Amino acid sequence: MESALKAYSKSWQDPKDVYKERRWHILIRLPTLAGWELEAHIKDLNEDVKILNDKIRGCEEALKRKDIKMIEKERLKTELGQLKTTLKWVKKERKIYVFEKTRRFQ
């Protein structure tokens, strides 16, 4: 399965449909995952969240600049919206693994 960041970043696919498909695969594999594999998935998703937060911060800072052209500003707004949507779905996927981790190791 490809990384969550790559899967949700595809502009031609609806993120909700991608989430449903990935969630189905995750739920099938979840009972057989070892603890270290669960941790690895959470770590990968945390890295994706960090990357997305950095990109969002960069777009927001670029939008605040005064010398930016209108066309560039519109492109940045579009990109910012896509990044925020991607972040939302990556976090939802991460919640599945975190819930399983807390359920197993209470």
Q: Is residue 93 part of a domain?
A: yes
The count of structural domains within the chain is 1
With 80 as the cut, is the pLDDT of residue 106 above it? Answer: no
Q: Is residue 97 part of a domain?
A: yes
Q: Is residue 10 part of a domain?
A: no
* Torsion of the alpha carbons at 104, 31, 39 and 3, rounded to the nearest 10: -150
Q: Domain limits at 86?
A: 40-106
Q: Is residue 21 part of a domain?
A: no
pLDDT in tens, 28-69: 999 999 999 999 999 999 999 999 999 999 999 999 988 889
Q: What is the pLDDT of residue 12?
A: 81
Q: What is the pLDDT of residue 83?
A: 95
With 80 as the cut, is the pLDDT of residue 11 above it? Answer: no
- DSSP assignment of 12-31 equals TS-HHHHHHHHHHHHHHHGG
Tokens of 21: 């498909």
Cβ-based burial of 57 (10 A; exposed 0-12, middle 13-18, buried ≥19) = exposed
